[in-house]
Amino acid sequence: MMYYVFESPYKIVVNTDGEFTTYSSTPRKIMCAILHTIGLFIYCNEVRKSNLSRTTTNPVDYLNAFLKTTSCIHHIIFVQTVWSRKAQFLKLVQHLASMTRNDTFRAVNNGNKFPLSTAPPKWVIILLTYLFPAIAIISTICLHGLPLKDDTLVKVFVELRGSFFEKRCNLERITEEERQHEHDIEYASTPVILISYFLLFSRILLSFVTDALISMVILSFYCAVSNLMVELRSESTKLMITVDMFSELRNEYENLTRLCDLVNSSISRLMLTYLMETVFFYSVYLKELAVLDGRCISVQLWIGFLFGTFCAVFYLAAETSSQMDQAKIILTNFDVGGIDQVELVNVRLKLQSKTFAISGNGIFQLNYSLVSAVRVQHHIDVFHYQCPVSSPWLTLLMSHSIWEAIHQFPLSCSSSQFRDDSI
């Protein structure tokens, strides 16, 4: 997907012998470099436009500045990863492909057959492949107004000013009288409009492709680990398993541990900035998501989609780490027939020494409890007590709900077995 939308300078292909190679062309590299350069230039310009000073008193302005800075760093790391870490990406794709192939089956003693690992359904892969670029196009066209006549190309590109880089529901420069005569508004020339759309699309596409990469990697990892858990739970009902079955399960578990190392080594910095971007995103846009007043529905849908993506990624990361811990416990408690007890003890000690963590593990539960407390308290104050509090975060600080959210955090995880270690 990244290759076909000009966000990756190379494409990973499979040869007839099953080996993975990379393919790239000079025109595609040039187009990819142009899109990345324009996208990063606009991100850096947004940071430059923060306009913070010592007289700034609104904390939301500081949070918004931190969000823009984190987003800029996040996408700089993404571009650097795509261009300079091809070998690690190739290893990651090879390992994911080997763990998610579903054409190899293993027969177990009771006659049933389990796939070695289950890949995400094809419709899920196709949907995620084209969903993010499609939303980038829709966001560019629907959420932003056309440049007006006085919005020159230099003004739009260098200064990021004008109606084009302001969301439609935030346009304050068009008065009510002008809104009644929108057909009389003079817009910029066609070349300026097309170039402006290309500039903004480069920025939005870079953002959504970065999210797509993280989502696909975590989803594939989660599917592979979930399938291993199905097999382990099936075998754990037996009083004793054979040495061959134990070796196969252990080898698959070792493959997953190597996959975990590859994920952390290839996108660990990307996940860290992704986590920071999510926290600041909550801080700035939670009001837009929590207050449903019928205005700016398109913007709320866009924010809701991003919110759902953030939650899904952190939830899958937490569940994957938790299931890896569960798999370790199940493997260490197997009774294996026909194996030397000293060797079995050594295997168990090696398994118990393994630890796993994906960036964002456990963060989803804390964020979920915090957001729930904010929304509930905000609605109580505004609708029940008619409290004139305009920000749910001010409501949170005034009511000390953050302590309630932190106390609720262990309770939200108590229903999942073996979750204490991952927390």
pLDDT band at 179 (very low <50, low <70, confident <90, very high): low
Instruction: State the pLDDT at residue 215.
Output: 85
Inter-CA distances, 80 with 213, 314, 323, Å: 14, 23, 31
Check pLDDT > 60 for residue 196.
yes
Tokens for 103, please give them.
Answer: 């054409």
Highest mean pLDDT among 17-21, 114-118, 364-368: 17-21
211 half-sphere exposure, CB direction, 13 A CA radius: 25
Amino acid at 109: N
pLDDT at residue 398 is higher than 50: no
Q: Say which residue the tokens 């932190």 belong to.
A: 406
Bigger pLDDT: 131 vs 212: 212
Residue range 95-136, pLDDT digits in tens:
777 765 544 434 333 444 444 445 566 677 677 777 767 777
Region 365-384 average pLDDT: 49
Rounded to the nearest 5°, which phi and psi values hold at 78? -60, -50
pLDDT tens, residue by residue, 30-48:
999 999 999 898 888 888 8
Average pLDDT over residues 214-233: 84
**Which of the two residues, 381 and 2, has the higher pLDDT score?**
2
Q: State the pLDDT at residue 394.
A: 46
b/e 378-413 (16+ beta carbons within 10 angstroms → b): beebbeeeeeebebbbebbeebebbebbeebbeebb
Residue 36 confidence (pLDDT) = 92
In this structure, of 144-148, 378-382, 397-401, the range with the lowest mean pLDDT score is 397-401
- How far is 207 from 211, CA to CA, in rounded Å? 7
Cα distances from 317 to residues 77, 217, 303, 342, 360, in angstroms, run 20, 10, 21, 35, 7
Nearest Cα neighbor of 74 from 281, 219, 262 is 281
Residue 302: what pLDDT?
A: 78
- Of residues 195, 342, 321, 339, the one with CA closest to residue 259: 321
End-to-end CA distance of the chain: 34
Share of the chain above pLDDT 90, in %: 4
If DSSP states are collapsed to H, E and C, what string results for the chain?
Answer: CCCCCCCCCCEEEECCCCCEEEECCHHHHHHHHHHHHHHHHHHHHHHHCCCCCCCCCCHHHHHHHHHHHHHHHHHHHHHHHHHHCHHHHHHHHHHHHHHCCCCCEEECCCCCEEECCCCCCHHHHHHHHHHHHHHHHHHHHHCECCCECCCCHHHHHCCCCCHHHCEHHHCCCCCHHHHHCHHHCCECCHHHHHHHHHHHHHHHHHHHHHHHHHHHHHHHHHHHHHHHHHHHHHHHCCCCECHHHHHHHHHHHHHHHHHHHHHHHHHHHHHHHHHHHHHHHHHHHHHHHHCCCCCCHHHHHHHHHHHHHHHHHHHHHHHHHHHHHHHHHHHHCCCECCCCHHHHHHHHHHHHCCCCCCCCCCHHHHHHHHHHHHHHHHHHHHHHCCCCCCCHHHHHHHHCHHHHHHHHHHHHCCCCCCCCCCC
User: Can you tell me the mean pLDDT for 214-220?
Assistant: 85
User: What's residue 349's pLDDT?
Assistant: 58
Q: How confident is the model at residue 74 (pLDDT cuts 50, 70, 90)?
A: very high
Parse the chain into domains and list their residue ranges: 11-361
Mean pLDDT comparison of 63-77, 156-170, 334-348, highest-scoring range = 63-77
Q: Is the pLDDT of residue 27 over 80?
A: yes
Q: Which residue has the higher pLDDT, 408 or 247?
A: 247
Q: What is the pLDDT of residues 281-324, one digit of tens each?
A: 888 877 777 776 666 677 777 788 888 888 888 888 878 877 88
- Per residue in 241-291, pLDDT tens? 777 777 788 788 888 888 887 887 788 788 888 888 888 888 887 777 777
pTM higher than the cut 0.85: no
Pairing of strands 105-107, 20-23: unpaired
CA 39 to chain centre: 19
Residue 121: phi and psi, rounded to 5, are: -55, 150
pLDDT recorded at residue 106: 42
To the nearest whole number, what is the mean pLDDT of the chain?
Answer: 70
